[in-house]
């Protein structure tokens, strides 16, 4: 039998055939669409307020039917939680860096936030204000304080009894100041250039660190933190 008369090989039962031609639809990049919705929602919630803005407002800002928002986020609360988690994940990422320079992590967070400022400004503003019903303040403070406790307020062997509780308390004392300064830095409202502000923050953080260890009697501990421009400790 010549090739002209050969019958096509039948496909296996149930085998999927790729869609081609005019009836096919482009594949949706769900992570990309999710990120676009998060950014649009952050902008809307910042402009209109979390309590006022609706999912329809978010859909309008994203330029899609509302049903597409609900396919990824089942509720407004779930959407807000996703924005919060995005910001907290970046805090963990920046704070996980090994560098031990006062002010370095704050600057790193600000630089990251400037690429997508709306989610950060939304979460940090509402956290700083302590808006009831969102629970953002506790989660953001917990994330920041955990690193402060681990990096600055480990107790030394010569610390008086009760040092662990005092260290936990001390680790939360500068969180509100940290959040407010981060907001002002992202917005560019300090009147200082980035390098000057970095060095200013570094000196404040060093004094807070050392003074808190002394005041709360946390004992003797070696620290490898340094100011910008200082040589690493030998």
Into how many domains does the chain fold? Answer: 2
Global pTM reads: 0.83
Q: How far is CA 80 from the centre of its chain?
A: 13
| Residue located via tokens 């952050």 | 42
Is the domain of 178 the same as that of 217?
yes
Q: Identify the helix (H) or strand (E) that includes residue 33.
A: helix 30-48
Question: Whole-angstrom Cα distance, residue 201 to residue 106?
Answer: 8
Q: Both 178 and 222 in a single domain?
A: yes
| Residue range(s) defining the domain that contains residue 132 | 85-234
147 in the same domain as 116: yes
Statement to judge: residues 65 and 158 lie in one domain: no
Mean per-residue pLDDT pooled into runs of 10, the chain (234 residues): 46 47 66 95 96 96 96 96 95 86 94 95 91 80 92 95 97 91 93 95 96 97 91 69
Which 8-state DSSP code applies to residue 191? S
17 in a structural domain: no
The SS3 call for residue 101 is: strand
Residue with tokens 């296996």: 12
Give, to the nearest 10 degrees, the angle between helix 136-152 and helix 76-95.
10
- Same structural domain for residues 224 and 126? yes
> In this structure, what token pair is assigned to residue 49?
């307020």
**Residue 228: burial class (beta carbons within 10 Å; 0-12, 13-18, 19+):** middle
pLDDT at 25: 62
């Amino acid at each position: 039998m010549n090739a002209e008369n050969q019958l096509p090989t039948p496909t296996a039962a149930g085998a999927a055939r790729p869609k081609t031609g005019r009836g096919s639809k482009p594949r949706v990049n769900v992570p990309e669409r999710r990120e676009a919705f998060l950014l649009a929602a952050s902008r809307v919630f910042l402009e209109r307020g979390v309590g006022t803005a609706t999912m329809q407002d978010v859909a309008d800002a994203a330029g899609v039917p509302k049903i597409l928002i609900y396919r990824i986020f089942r509720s407004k609360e779930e959407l807000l939680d996703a924005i919060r988690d995005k910001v907290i994940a970046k805090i963990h990422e920046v704070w996980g860096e090994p560098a031990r320079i006062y002010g370095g992590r704050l600057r790193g967070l600000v630089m990251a936030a400037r690429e997508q400022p709306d989610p950060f400004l939304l979460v940090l503003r509402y956290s700083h204000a302590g808006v009831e019903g969102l629970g953002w303040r506790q989660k953001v403070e917990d994330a920041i304080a955990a690193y402060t406790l681990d990096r600055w307020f480990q107790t030394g062997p010569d610390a008086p009894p009760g040092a662990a509780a005092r260290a936990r308390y001390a680790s939360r004392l500068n969180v509100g100041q940290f959040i407010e300064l981060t907001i002002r830095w992202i917005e560019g409202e300090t009147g200082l250039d980035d390098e000057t502000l970095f060095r200013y923050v570094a000196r404040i953080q060093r004094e807070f660190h050392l003074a808190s260890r002394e005041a709360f009697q946390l004992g003797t501990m070696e620290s490898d933190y340094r100011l910008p421009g200082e040589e690493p400790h030998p």
